[in-house]
Amino acid sequence: MHKMKTLVTGSIAKAAQIIVRGEVVAFPTETVYGLGANAYNDQAIKKIFKAKGRPKDNPIIVHVSAKKDISILTKAIPEYAKKLIDKFFPGPVTVILKKNEIISDMVTAGLDTIALRMPSSMIARKFIKLSGVPIAAPSANISGSPSPTGFEHVSSDFDGKIPCILKGPVSRFGLESTVVDCTGKHPVILRPGVFTLEELKKIDRLAKIRKSSLKIKSPGQKYNHYSPDARVKLITNYELRIKNKKTITAFIGLNKKYSKIFEFVKICRSNEEYAKNLFSFFRECDKRGIKTIYCEKVQEKGIGLAIMNRLKKASAKT
- Per CB under 5 A, residues contacting Mg ion are 139
Number of H helices, E strands in the chain: 10, 16
Cβ proximity of 33 and 155 under 8 Å: no
Give me the least distance between CB of 221 and ligand TXA, in Å please: 5
Closer CB to ligand TXA, residue 127 or residue 258? 127
Q: How far is CA 143 from CA 73, 76, 209, 300, 317, in A?
A: 26, 32, 24, 26, 14
Closer CB to ligand TXA, residue 125 or residue 262? 125
* Single residue of 103, 137, 290, 293 touching ligand TXA by CB under 6 A: 137
Residues in the chain: 318
Give me the least distance between CB of 285 and ligand TXA, in Å please: 21
Q: Is 270 exposed, middle or buried (0-12, 13-18, 19+ CB in 10 A)?
A: exposed
| Residues of this chain, 209-268, that bind ligand TXA according to CB under 6 A | 217-221
Distance between CA atoms of 12 and 75, rounded to whole angstroms?
A: 31
Residue 280 within binding range of ligand TXA, rule CB under 6 A: no
HSE (side-chain half, CA atoms, 13 Å) at 181: 17
* Single residue of 115, 133, 135, 180 touching ligand TXA by CB under 6 A: 115
Residue 271 within binding range of ligand TXA, rule CB under 6 A: no
Residue 189 within binding range of ligand TXA, rule CB under 6 A: no
Size of the site for ligand TXA (CB under 6 A): 29
Residue 176 within binding range of ligand TXA, rule CB under 6 A: yes
Give me the least distance between CB of 314 and ligand TXA, in Å please: 15
Residue 190 within binding range of ligand TXA, rule CB under 6 A: yes
With b for 16 or more beta-carbon neighbours within 10 A and e for fewer, the 35-55 pattern comes to bbbbbebeebbebbbebbebe
Give me the least distance between CB of 220 and ligand TXA, in Å please: 2
CB proximity list for 177: less than 8 A, separation 6 or greater: 31, 61, 92, 93, 94, 117, 193, 194, 195
Give me the least distance between CB of 22 and Mg ion, in Å please: 23
* Single residue of 139, 227, 277, 280 touching ligand TXA by CB under 6 A: 139
Residue 187 within binding range of ligand TXA, rule CB under 6 A: no
| Residues of this chain, 1-60, that bind ligand TXA according to CB under 6 A | 29, 31-32, 34, 58-60
Torsion-angle region of 157 (φ positive above 0: left; ψ -120 to 50: alpha; else: beta): alpha
Q: Say which entry of Mg ion, ligand TXA, none residue 124 contacts (CB below 5 to 8 A, set by partner kind).
A: none
Residue 144 within binding range of ligand TXA, rule CB under 6 A: no
Checking 81-86 for CB contacts under 8 A at 24+ apart, the result is: 81/182, 81/187, 83/203, 83/204, 84/180, 84/182, 84/187, 84/200, 84/203
- Interface residues toward ligand TXA, by CB under 6 A: 29, 31-32, 34, 58-61, 94, 96, 108, 111, 113-115, 117, 137-139, 176-177, 179, 190-191, 217-221
